[in-house]
Amino acid sequence: MQEDIDITSDHGEATSSLDAATLRQHETAPARYQLVSPDGNYDAGTLPDLDDEELRDLFRWMVRQRVVDERMVKLQRRGEMGTYASGRGQEASIIGCVYALDADRDWLFPYGREATALLKHGMALRDLLLYWRGVMDANRFEDSNIFPMSIAIGTHIPVGVGQAWGMKLDGADAVSAMYFGEGHPSTGELQSGMNFAGVIDAPALFYCQNNQYAISQPFEKQTNARSVAQKAIAWGFDGIRVDGNDVLAVYDACRSARERAVDGSPVLVEAVTYRLDAHTTNDDPSLYRSDEEVERWEAYDPVDRFRSVLKAEGVWETVDEDAIRDELNAEFDRAKEAADAYESGGVDELFTYLYEEMPPELERQLAEFEALLEERPDVMEYVDDRPKG
C-alpha cells in the first residue's frame, strides 16, 4: 500500500482561497537602496567603511569616466574613432560596482558602456581606444580577468555563468560579474543564463545598469515589470535595487552581493540611473526623449552628489579636481599617441583569429587576397583610407 506523501514542505501549504494562491506584482516599484540623497544629505553612520584615500580614489575614477567619455566622443566627431557608447550620467553605477570586485580573482563580463570598469579591472587605456577603432587585438584581454566585450545583446550572460560554474568547481574564492542593460532581460540568453545560475548556485553577480532606455525604447515598453531586480525571484535568488547615481550605495550593494555570490548565492543588482548622452555616437536621442527630461536627470548628477560627501567628510580640501582632470587628460593624450602608433599586422589578421590552425579553405582565400593586393595595390589604399565610424 502506497503511503501518503507530504508535499507541503516543498510545494507550500494548500488553500481553498484562489486569492491566497495568486502571486501579484506590487503596485509601485520596489524601494531603491540609497545612502546619499540627491541634495547631498546622509547619515554618516550608514556609509561603507572607506578611508579618505579610498574616497579620493573613488572620486578620481568617476572623473576619469567623464574625461574618457568627453575625449572619446570628440575623437569620434573628428573621424578618429569608431562608434562609441558614452557613460555620462552613469559614473556612479559604472565605478561603484567594479570598485567592489577583486581584479586579481573576479572575472568581469562587459557589454560596452563601462569604460572605466574595464580600466579599473586591468585594461590599458590605449587598448580601449584601439577597441573602439575596431582593432581585434584590443579585445583579447590576455593580461586581465576580462571577457571580450559583448555587443550582441545578452550573449555574454551564459558564458559568464559558465565561468562562474567552473570557478565553483575549482573552489575559487571569486565571482563572475556580468554588466548589462535593462534591455537584456528581454533576451532568451539572459533568461536561460540566470535560470541556470540559480539551479547550480553559481558565484555570479548579475549587474544591470537600468539607464531608462534600451536604445530608443523606454523601460516601460520593454517589460510590464516594475523593476529588473524583482525578476531574480523567478530564478530563485535575491534581487537588490539600488540608486545608481549614489556611488556609495552602489559600492555597498555590490560588495554585499559579491560576498553572497562567493558563498554560492547568485545575486541580481539593478542600479537605477540615467544615460545623459546618446545611446551611441550614431544615435539621436532627441527623437525619443525631451530636453526637459534630460535636464531633470542632470539634477541627480552622480559626480556632484559624491563631491558633496567629500566636502561634508572634510576630504575635499585635499582634492584638486582641476589637477585631476589635467592629469587624466594628459594620460589620455599618451594613450592616444600609443594607439595612433599601433601598426596593423597585415591582411592575414582577417584570418588569424578564427582557428588555432588555419584550415585549407582559409589558406586559399588568404593567398587569393594577397595576390589581389599584389595586382591591385590601390585596394589596400582604399581599406586604409575608407571612412570610419
Give me the residues paired with residue 210 across strands. Answer: 272
Q: Which of 77, 105, 140, 288 is labelled catalytic?
A: 288
CB-based contact 304:120 (threshold 8 Å):
no
Of 106, 186, 185, which is closest to residue 147 (Cα–Cα)? 106
The active-site residue, picked from 241, 279, 305, 307, is: 279
Catalytic residue among 64, 71, 258, 275: 275
Three-state SS at 330: helix
- Is 376 catalytic? The answer is no
Looking from the CA of 146 toward its CB, the CA atoms found within 13 Å total: 29
Q: How does DSSP classify residue 72?
A: H
d(CA 355, CA 362): 10
Buried/exposed 46-70: b ≥16 CB within 10 Å, e otherwise:
ebbebeeeebbebbbbbbbbbbbbb
Q: Answer yes or no: 279 catalytic.
A: yes
Q: Mention every residue, 6+ apart, whose C-beta is less than 8 A from residue 19.
A: none
Query: Is residue 141 left, alpha or beta, with left meaning phi > 0 and alpha meaning psi from -120 to 50?
Result: left
Three-state secondary-structure class, residue 205: strand
CB atoms under 10 Å from CB of 265, counted, come to 18
Residue 32 annotated to the active site? no
Cα–Cα distance measured from residue 109 to residue 87, given in angstroms and rounded to the nearest whole number? 17
Q: At what angle do helices 91-98 and 52-77 cross, to 10 degrees?
A: 130
Active site residues: 275, 279, 288
